[in-house]
Chain A
Amino acid sequence: DGGITQSPKYLFRKEGQNVTLSCEQNLNHDAMYWYRQDPGQGLRLIYYSQIVNDFQKGDIAEGYSVSREKKESFPLTVTSAQKNPTAFYLCASSIDIGSGGYTFGSGTRLTVV
């Protein structure tokens, strides 16, 4: 079955360490996205990618980095520069950048201690 997989589901890291969240899709979608959710708030866009080897900053990109070397994969690195990294992170994909209509992963809950 086609879908989008995020791993791990829960992640704990010490303050000051970089951590990479995985997102893989086998839907043959061109566009991929990373969102962050904090308690009581909606989804905020971190980075998005329209196509392989291209990505754009979203509304809250500071302290994060991404790569898009393969169509299937869009990993997110939370760097030590991110001041409040503890959050729930959702990855999504869509057929292309204009179609909206996202397929979501199940999310990764990151806790930095």
Chain B
Amino acid sequence: ILNVEQSPQSLHVQEGDSTNFTCSFPSSNFYALHWYRWETAKSPEALFVMTLNGDEKKKGRISATLNTKEGYSYLYIKGSQPEDSATYLCAYNNAGKSTFGDGTTLTVKP
């Protein structure tokens, strides 16, 4: 079983704060790294697909970077809003199937 780790496990911030969290994964045989957002009572929703070392992706106030050589990806949220509260999952795709981290649960307080 591949080891995909996310940190921190949970995070509480005030509205307007910027925050970031980490996903680490095996650096060998890398194929793709996916980020998902999972809001309570909803299905996980795809945020980013990252495939190349040095990739940077952005969607609104959320962005992500990828370092395949050292095996990590960062997810950044600028100016957090209460609607950003969710669990953020990363998934390491190798040999066709994805191994998920345990997620980082973000709570943004108004």
Residues of A whose CB lies within 8 Å of any CB of B are 31, 33, 35, 40-45, 48, 50, 58-59, 90, 97-98, 100-107
Contact = CB atoms under 8 A, between A and B. Distances in A.
Contacts, number: 54
Contacts of A105: 43
Interface residue SS majority, chain B: strand
Interface of B: 1, 4, 31-32, 34, 36, 42-46, 49, 89, 91, 93, 96-103
Nearest to A56: B97
A98 B31 contact: yes
A59 B1 contact: yes
Given A33-B97, A101-B34, 19 more contacts: A33-B98, A42-B100, A43-B89, A44-B100, A45-B99, A48-B97, A59-B1, A90-B43, A97-B97, A98-B96, A100-B32, A100-B49, A100-B93, A101-B49, A102-B91, A102-B98, A103-B46, A104-B44, A105-B43
